[in-house]
Every structure is written in structure tokens, then in C-alpha cells.
């Protein structure tokens, strides 16, 4: 039977296909697809092969810590076991980073994932607040650029600054800075 171009579920047994209301439905309480779905939920959310390789070039610039943090959280989501996470880490980085990480793992004998990730972020990324401030001040507005895109770019850079600040009062109010920067860049002729 076909309703509005969609076959009923009896024609697509074993596949996840949307069936419109009013169409006959098969019971899937004890079917193989239902058992596979139950089994899949017990597996890790991510497979190590799904993680993009982290290259040395990814650790350049003020966004490096964010890239590294995302990479490490993806590795963490693959396994609960520390040794398995270390193995995944070693296989998903380029050779120079793998050599550096291998040396660090053999010297420091990290006992927790949190300690390892903290150490990697401190050692492999630039934590200089002045460089972040300079990168914010170097943002230029192009008249062809959408003002919202420009403001978003500033917000992202400011978020990096907030993340790197060690003291809560160290950074001025974000919205005021972004507004001033946007108005100044838009009104200043190039």
C-alpha cells in the first residue's frame, strides 16, 4: 500500500522509515532492528575514526586552545578507560604531536584524564592575554562584510579572552567593547 508516495512499513521491514499516520504498522518489540537499537545505546557516543586528525598547525593562533579542547573532549567521549583514551589520542594526532605526547606520557605518568588534558592545554597553546587583546584590536571591518558577521567575529575573540582571563574583573564589559569597536570601525573611512 502506498500513501502520499511513502510505502507502508511492511515493505521496508528492518529499516527506519517514517510511516504516515493511518498506515499499517508492524510491531517491532522483538525485532532485530529493535535489539540493535538497544545494543547501540550501550556503545560509546563516538568512534575514534570519527575524530578529525589534530595537526600541529591547528595549535597556532588564539583559537588553538579551543581546537585542542574540542579534540580532547571528542577523544574523551570515545572511552571511559584512561589507557584507551591515551591510545586514541596518539592515533589521532600528526607525527610531531604524537612524538611530543608520547614523551610526555612516558615522563609524567598521568593518572587522570583531567590532569593530562590540563597539561596539554597549558603546554601546547598560547595563554598570553596580550596576544588575544592584540588580535581583537586588529580586527578590521570591511564595508562589504555583514555587520552581524563582524560583531559575531568580535564576540568569538572576546570569548577567547574571557576564557584566558585569570581574574573575573580583568576584562571590561564585553557588550560595551563590542559596540564601541563596531561603531568605531564602521564610521572610520578606510
* Average pLDDT, rounded, for the chain: 72
Ordered DSSP codes for the chain: -EETTEE-GGGGTTS-----TTS-----TTSHHHHHHHHHHTS-S--GGGSPPBPGGGG-STTHHHHHHHHHHHHHTT-S-HHHHHHHHHHTB-HHHHHHHHHHHHHH---SHHHHHHHHHHHHS---HHHHHHHHHT----TTS-HHHHHHHHHHHHHHHHHH-SSGGGS--HHHHHHHHHHHHHHS--
Lowest mean pLDDT among 6-15, 54-63, 140-149, 151-160: 6-15
Residue 5 pLDDT exceeds 60: no
pLDDT digits (tens, 9 = 90+) for 25-37: 444 444 444 444 4
Q: How confident is the model at residue 170 (pLDDT cuts 50, 70, 90)?
A: low
The confidence score (pLDDT) of residue 21 equals 43
Percent of the chain with pLDDT over 90: 25
* Residue that wins the pLDDT comparison between 39 and 110: 110
What is the pTM for the complete model shown? 0.56
Length of the chain counted residue by residue: 190
pLDDT digits (tens, 9 = 90+) for 50-100: 899 999 899 888 788 889 999 999 999 999 999 999 999 999 999 999 999
Q: How confident is the model at residue 4 (pLDDT cuts 50, 70, 90)?
A: very low
Domain ranges of the chain: 2-41, 48-124, 129-187
Amino acid at each position: 500500500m502506498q500513501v502520499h508516495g511513502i510505502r507502508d512499513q511492511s515493505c521496508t521491514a528492518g529499516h527506519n522509515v517514517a510511516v504516515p499516520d493511518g498506515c499499517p504498522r508492524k510491531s517491532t518489540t522483538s525485532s532485530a532492528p529493535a535489539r540493535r537499537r538497544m545494543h547501540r545505546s550501550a556503545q560509546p557516543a563516538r568512534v575514534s575514526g570519527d575524530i578529525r586528525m589534530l595537526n600541529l598547525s591547528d595549535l597556532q593562533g588564539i583559537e588553538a586552545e579551543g581546537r585542542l579542547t574540542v579534540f580532547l573532549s571528542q577523544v574523551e567521549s570515545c572511552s571511559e578507560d584512561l589507557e584507551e583514551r591515551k591510545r586514541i589520542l596518539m592515533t589521532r594526532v600528526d607525527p610531531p604531536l604524537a612524538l611530543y605526547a608520547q614523551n610526555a606520557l612516558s615522563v609524567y605518568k598521568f593518572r587522570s584524564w583531567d590532569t593530562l588534558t590540563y597539561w596539554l592545554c597549558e603546554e601546547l597553546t598560547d595563554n598570553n592575554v596580550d596576544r588575544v587583546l592584540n588580535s581583537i584590536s586588529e580586527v578590521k571591518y570591511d564595508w562589504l562584510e555583514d555587520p552581524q558577521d563582524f560583531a559575531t567575529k568580535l564576540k568569538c575573540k572576546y570569548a577567547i579572552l574571557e576564557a584566558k582571563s585569570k581574574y573575573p574583573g580583568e576584562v571590561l564589559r564585553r557588550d560595551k567593547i563590542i559596540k564601541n569597536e563596531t561603531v568605531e570601525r564602521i564610521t572610520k573611512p578606510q
